[in-house]
Copies of this chain bind each other. A is one copy, B any other.
Amino acid sequence: MTARISLDTVNDLPDAAFTEQFAGIYEQSPWVAQGAAAARPFSSVTALAAAMAAVVAAADGDRQRDLLRAHPDLAGRAALRGELTPSSQSEQAAAGLDSLTPDEMERFQRANRDYRDRFGFPFILAVRHWGKSHILAAYEGRLGNSLAAERAHALAEVDKIAFSRLLALVVPAATGRLTTHVLDTARGCPAAGLPVTLERIRGGTAAVIRQDRTNADGRLDAPLLEGAEMEPGLWCLQFAAGDYFLASGQPLTAPSFLDLVPVRFAIANPERHYHVPLLLSPWSYSTYRGS
């Protein structure tokens, strides 16, 4: 990855340079960057992305259709010929689409054809974080949509691809953080003294990043991640529920139904607050994106 530029730099670029810098954020559609230039300054990548998405949303239907049509097929002719834009090339490779078996290749061709026949534009999906089998399932699911619903869906995917491309170019604002909170729903109180481990998951391997223990309010004294530590991608919180239950003297079976409770989740927007709480009893738990 080349060095990313700062938001200050983004805000200081002349309009033409801004447009050039972000010309490829929306596939082959520099008009989107051009339209967003005047909305500067931006205090976050999120705001920059929102301004570009607003340009697309305000465009007329024909222009939106053209934008959709500017996207290459997944594992399609342009990919085979090496004619993808660098962004598309890297995204398709991340999803393993550059190493398909002949059988998979044929399934993709057929899916692309069916989708185009039905909707008149190529199948678009922010594929970077998915594997090929998931993506094939996605075609099938979306073929069932109405044209109106599917256009909305495709445009939303385009916005997600754009956001992820922006993150590769611009250093995000340091506003993000990851926090947690554990409540004991059997006893109606914070789960105090519960060991929590944060792991980063890459390629199926988990690396321990931080270990801590909940305080009297069931929270950690500091965020698990902050600012530049908020890397987009897969994470896992391991809650040592068994230790907590033992220490709190709750009746358990042997072995207890719950012991280590893993919660795997992804950070998509590093500028946001991700609050990932756990509502816990010896026989049940809930987790959710909180605030």
Q: Which residues of A contact B (CB under 8 A)?
A: 57, 61, 64, 125-126, 128-130, 133-135, 137-138, 140-142, 144-149, 151-153, 155-156, 160-161, 163-164, 181, 183-190, 193, 217-218, 232-234, 242-243, 246-249, 251, 253-262, 264-266, 268-269, 279, 281-291
| A246 & B151 in contact (Cβ 8 Å cutoff) | no
| A286 & B283 in contact (Cβ 8 Å cutoff) | no
| B264 & A135 in contact (Cβ 8 Å cutoff) | no
* Alpha-carbon distance between A291 and B140 when the two chains are bound, in angstroms: 24
| A284 & B279 in contact (Cβ 8 Å cutoff) | yes
| A164 & B288 in contact (Cβ 8 Å cutoff) | no
Q: A125-B246, A141-B249, A188-B282 are in contact. List 8 more A-B contacts (CB 8 A).
A: A134-B243, A134-B246, A137-B243, A138-B246, A152-B152, A218-B291, A257-B266, A259-B264
| A257 & B188 in contact (Cβ 8 Å cutoff) | yes
| B284 & A142 in contact (Cβ 8 Å cutoff) | no
Of the candidates B140, B163, B289, the one whose C-beta lies within 8 Å of that of A283 is B289
Q: Taking the nearest CB of chain B, how far is it from the CB of A191, in angstroms?
A: 10
| A264 & B256 in contact (Cβ 8 Å cutoff) | no
Q: Which B residues are in CB contact (< 8 Å) with A253?
A: 160, 188, 266, 268-269
Q: Taking the nearest CB of chain B, how far is it from the CB of A287, in angstroms?
A: 6
Q: Which chain B residue shows the least CB distance to A233?
A: B255
* Alpha-carbon distance between A15 and B254 when the two chains are bound, in angstroms: 29
| B258 & A265 in contact (Cβ 8 Å cutoff) | yes
Q: Taking the nearest CB of chain B, how far is it from the CB of A18, in angstroms?
A: 24
Asked, given contacts A258-B264, A260-B264, whether A185 binds B249 with beta carbons under 8 Å apart, the answer is no
Q: Taking the nearest CB of chain B, how far is it from the CB of A262, in angstroms?
A: 5
| A259 & B246 in contact (Cβ 8 Å cutoff) | no
* Alpha-carbon distance between A138 and B281 when the two chains are bound, in angstroms: 17
Q: Which B residues are in CB contact (< 8 Å) with A188?
A: 253, 257, 282-284, 288-289
* Alpha-carbon distance between A282 and B268 when the two chains are bound, in angstroms: 13
Q: Which chain B residue shows the least CB distance to A143?
A: B249
Of the candidates B145, B217, B243, B257, the one whose C-beta lies within 8 Å of that of A289 is B257
| A129 & B256 in contact (Cβ 8 Å cutoff) | yes
Q: Which B residues are in CB contact (< 8 Å) with A287?
A: 284-286
Of the candidates B137, B142, B190, B255, the one whose C-beta lies within 8 Å of that of A129 is B255
* Alpha-carbon distance between A260 and B263 when the two chains are bound, in angstroms: 9
